[in-house]
Amino acid sequence: MVTTWPRNFPGLGVGAQRLADRITAASDGQLTIQVFSAGEIVPPLQSIDAVIDGSAEMMHGAAYYWLNKNQGLGFFTGVPFGMTSRELSAWVRYGGGQEIYDEIYDQFGLQGFLSGDTGTQAGGWFRNELSGMSDLQGLRFRTPGYGGQVFQKLGASVTNMAGGEIFAALQSGALDAAEFVGPFNDLALGFHQVRKHYYTMSFTEPGLATEAVVDKAKYQALPQHLQDLVRDVCQAEYDQVPSDFYWNDPIALRTLVEQHGVTVHREWPEDIVEAAAAAAPEVIEEQLDGDALTRKAAESYVAALNSVRQRTENTDLTYALARQKFFDISDLG
């Protein structure tokens, strides 16, 4: 298995290794997965090609890295103002999402499984506090997927690169700003050494999913119980990885603030959020004009979002707001 993550990288790289170890252990060694981190066999953003051309049998990454293969893959990672991680899982598991995911990857002889998620990501690292839309004009910003397309519409100069390459680009000035995941990962990558203004809410990646992708012919050649094992361990990891982030993100954020002098901004300037919210439907609508599978993914995603958001907004959101307003036990214990 090749990955897009540095070795032992918190949350994501550790999750890839744990996935491999769990499959190996649960199969009593009938399946043995050896993990190669970013760049050990192929450059990180060529991991999918390694499985397609047969130089690897499996990869671990994020589907929006492969929009050059099919734009519809962006719906299985993170969509601006789109599904949270729970909502995405509901669509993929119960709303027909997995079947469309399968159709897209069938074109390349691949089988994909969601294998982790980060929850809502952080918005990114900047030299200075953002005052409004004017600060985005020409800003050299690392942010991938449909979120990157939204920021392009807002005037930023957007690029994508693997996580392990971002720090050097910020340090050299090749990038003005960057987002990756959130405090747990970003602390490990050292972004605080070169940028001090941190926006902790991402409206472009509200439920970022990772994926494990395998050579489909080799997967289907496995006995049924081993096929089921791979699928079920990926599903279990989808649920375990966010627990790692939810526990460690607050700890890492305190470290960034208290030990490294990072200034945290919990809200973006309103004109940026408003403009992004207007641009996001445009990006989704552009997918409806794409190839048949991209259009199918877009139509299914939109229908699912309009359904599952009702639970989130009627139940989860109203509860969270009530807890925030009325419930305080910070002085107990």
Q: Indicate if the pLDDT at residue 332 is higher than 90.
A: no
Q: Which of 74, 87, 93 is nearest to 232 (CA)?
A: 93
In angstroms, the CA 300 to CA 116 distance is 21
pLDDT of residue 30: 96
Given a contact cutoff of 8 angstroms between Cβ atoms, the answer to whether 296 and 106 are in contact is no
Q: Which of 162, 164, 138 is nearest to 151 (CA)?
A: 138
pLDDT of residue 330: 86
CATH entry 3.30.2020.30 includes domain 2-117+207-247: no
Going by pLDDT thresholds of 50, 70 and 90, the confidence category of residue 72 is: very high
pLDDT of residue 333: 66
All CATH 3.40.190.10 domain ranges of the chain, comma separated, are: 124-205+249-286
Question: What percent of the chain lies above the pLDDT cut of 70?
Answer: 100
Global pTM value: 0.95
Contacts of residue 209, Cβ cutoff 8 Å, sequence gap at least 6 = 62, 63, 76, 77, 78, 85, 88, 114, 115, 116, 117, 238
285 alpha carbon, distance to own chain's centre: 21
Mean pLDDT, residues 229-247: 96
Q: Indicate if the pLDDT at residue 68 is higher than 70.
A: yes
Q: Which of 288, 292, 287, 289 is nearest to 71 (CA)?
A: 287
In angstroms, the CA 23 to CA 306 distance is 35
Mean pLDDT, residues 156-176: 96
Mean pLDDT, residues 298-322: 97
All CATH 3.40.190.170 domain ranges of the chain, comma separated, are: 2-117+207-247
Q: Average pLDDT, whole number, for the chain?
A: 96
Total length of the chain: 333
146 alpha carbon, distance to own chain's centre: 11
Alpha-helical regions (H) of 173-223: 183-189, 216-220
Token code pair at residue 128? 């200075």
Tell me the per-residue pLDDT of 143-160, one tens digit each, with 9 for 90 and over: 999 999 999 999 999 999
CATH of 124-205+249-286, one of 3.60.20.10, 3.30.1370.100, 3.90.1150.10, 3.40.190.10: 3.40.190.10
pLDDT of residue 155: 98
Tell me the per-residue pLDDT of 93-139, one tens digit each, with 9 for 90 and over: 999 999 999 999 999 999 999 999 999 999 999 999 999 999 999 99
Tell me the per-residue pLDDT of 49-60, one tens digit each, with 9 for 90 and over: 999 999 999 999
Tell me the per-residue pLDDT of 259-301, one tens digit each, with 9 for 90 and over: 999 999 999 999 999 999 999 999 999 999 999 999 999 999 9
Mean pLDDT, residues 321-327: 95
